[in-house]
Structure 1
Amino acid sequence: MIKIAVYGKGGVGKSTTVSNMAAALADTGLRVMQIGCDPKADSTAALRGRADLPAVLDVMRRKGQSLSLEDIVRPGYGGVVCVEAGGPLPGRGCAGRGIVAALETLEAAGAYGLYQPDIVFYDVLGDVVCGGFAMPMHKGYADAVFVLTSGENMAIHAAANIAMAVESFRDRGYARLGGFILNRRHVPREEEKVQELAGDFHTAVIGALDRSDTVMKAEELGKTVIEAFPDSPMAGQYRQLARAVYAAAQRR
């Protein structure tokens, strides 16, 4: 089992990218699990046609320790196992601590043993890299962290902070930095800036995605590009990226 955490600034296209990679790898016959670690609890929506999926924290508030995996897990496209951590009630808790509680609940319930995924994606909000938001980097969770960014300055800044957090955990046996993923926004010097960022952390740009109307059309249908437009050039880009990320995550 390979566990991959994908981080990025909010709004950079992280959940869309992770869901399409999950769908692409599921199409190859791999057993895939995607765990959304964002308080909005919408990471896996495109894999499920926007069907309802109770967030782990919401179920915990209702049922406490009596919750079961059937309460918090739903199948998505290609059999992808979908889970959403969720977040606290507004003004009543820390979203980071909620991620910790959700991941610990999944582990205690034996989710990995039951579903036996070949690959697990953690889709993690990267605007703040502290507390529970850093949990997927910890030993026993992700094997590798990939950072999604555009060439926009705020996205680059967030990506650098995420990479620094990963590097600071290196001596503890935590997840390693697998590389950067460029989600193009067609800003000046975009490719150059992201390549420079990768060089600063002695890693690589694993793949790049074009800005495409196909992505928005698929989202309007409540589907991934892989499902809605499987023969499109954009689907091809997601498949290529998924292969590259999976291969890079397996390197030691």
Structure 2
Amino acid sequence: MIKIAVYGKGGIGKSTTVSNVAAALSEQGMKVMQIGCDPKADSTILLRHGESVTTVLNLYNQKKQNMKLEEMIKTGYRNVVCVEAGGPTPGLGCAGRGIITALEKLGELGAYEKYQPDVILYDVLGDVVCGGFSMPMRKGYADKVFIITSGENMAIHAGANIAMAVDNFKNRGYASLGGIILNRRNVPREEEKVKELADDFHTEVIGSLDHSELVLKAEEQGKTLLEAYPDSEMADEYRKLAKEILKVCQEEKEC
């Protein structure tokens, strides 16, 4: 089982990218589980044609120990297994608590044994890398962390903070940095700035995605781009990215 955490600044296209990568991996015949680790709980919505998943935190608050696995987990496009951690009422409580609760409950209720995913994708908000949001980096969860960024200054800054958090955990047996993913916004010096970020943390830019109107058109239909426009060049970009992510993770396991 390959476990991948994808981090990035809010609004950088992280959930869209993760959902399309999940679809691309599923196309290859892999069993995929996507776990949304954002209080907005919308990571998997494109995989489910706009239909949301009841969050683990909401279920736990309502039912405590009586919550059932089938209430937490739904399936989406190409049978991707969808989970949303959720978060507290705005202004109340710690958003990271939803992530911690979700990951603990998935383990306790035997989700991995029942669904037997080949790949787990954690989609994690990266504006703040506090204890809860760093949970997927910890030992036993993700094997690799990938950072999505554009060349915009705030996205680069968030990416550097995430990479620093991964670096700070490196002596604890936590997830290591797998690489940087460029999601283009067509700003000045974009490729150069993202390459500098990768160089600063001794990693590589493992893939890039063009800015495409088709992504927005697919989202308006409540679909991943791979479902809405499977024969497009943009769909092939996501397929290529999925292969590169998988390659990095498989090479690590062989070492």
- Alignment TM class, shorter chain as reference: over 0.9
| Separation in structure 2 between the aligned mates of residue 91 and residue 102 of structure 1, nearest angstrom | 20
2:8 is matched with 8
2:189 is matched with 189
| Separation in structure 1 between the aligned mates of residue 97 and residue 73 of structure 2, nearest angstrom | 20
1:246 is matched with 246
| Separation in structure 2 between the aligned mates of residue 176 and residue 240 of structure 1, nearest angstrom | 22
Deviates more, 1:83-92 or 1:25-34: 83-92
| Separation in structure 1 between the aligned mates of residue 251 and residue 142 of structure 2, nearest angstrom | 13
| Separation in structure 2 between the aligned mates of residue 185 and residue 213 of structure 1, nearest angstrom | 12
**Conserved 8 A contact 1:97-1:131:** no
| Separation in structure 1 between the aligned mates of residue 159 and residue 5 of structure 2, nearest angstrom | 13
Deviates more, 1:147-156 or 1:43-52: 43-52
SS of the equivalent of 1:251 reads: helix
Q: Does 1:40 align with 2:40?
A: yes
Deviates more, 1:205-214 or 1:49-58: 49-58
Runs of 4+ in 1 over 4 A off after TM superposition: none
| Separation in structure 2 between the aligned mates of residue 17 and residue 110 of structure 1, nearest angstrom | 27
Q: Does 1:145 align with 2:145?
A: yes
Q: Does 1:89 align with 2:89?
A: yes
* TM value normalised by structure 2: 0.98
Code of the residue aligned with 1:104 in structure 2: it is E
SS of the equivalent of 2:120 reads: strand
2:72 is matched with 72
Gaps of 5+ in 1: none
2:24 is matched with 24
Code of the residue aligned with 2:160 in structure 1: it is A
Task: Write the deviation string for residues 90-148 of structure 1: whole angstroms up to 9, x where unpaired.
Answer: 22210012211111011111111110000000000000001100000000000000000
Code of the residue aligned with 1:36 in structure 2: it is G
Shift of 1:227: 0.4
**Conserved 8 A contact 1:14-1:148:** yes
Code of the residue aligned with 2:238 in structure 1: it is Y
| Separation in structure 1 between the aligned mates of residue 251 and residue 57 of structure 2, nearest angstrom | 34
Give the length in aligned residue pairs: 252
CA RMSD of aligned residues (A): 0.7
Matches of residues 42-191 of structure 1 in structure 2 within 5 Å?
42-191=42-191
* TM value normalised by structure 1: 0.99
SS of the equivalent of 2:132 reads: helix
**Conserved 8 A contact 2:7-2:126:** yes
Code of the residue aligned with 2:9 in structure 1: it is K
| Separation in structure 2 between the aligned mates of residue 123 and residue 52 of structure 1, nearest angstrom | 15
SS of the equivalent of 2:140 reads: coil
Code of the residue aligned with 2:78 in structure 1: it is G
SS of the equivalent of 2:71 reads: helix
**Conserved 8 A contact 2:44-2:52:** no
Shift of 1:184: 0.2
| Separation in structure 2 between the aligned mates of residue 174 and residue 250 of structure 1, nearest angstrom | 17
2:236 is matched with 236
Task: Write the deviation string for residues 40-62 of structure 1: whole angstroms up to 9, x where unpaired.
Answer: 00000000001131010111111
Code of the residue aligned with 2:37 in structure 1: it is C
Task: Write the deviation string for residues 23-50 of structure 1: whole angstroms up to 9, x where unpaired.
Answer: 0110111000000000000000000001
SS of the equivalent of 1:163 reads: helix
Code of the residue aligned with 2:201 in structure 1: it is F
Task: Write the deviation string for residues 59-89 of structure 1: whole angstroms up to 9, x where unpaired.
Answer: 1111111111110100011110000000012
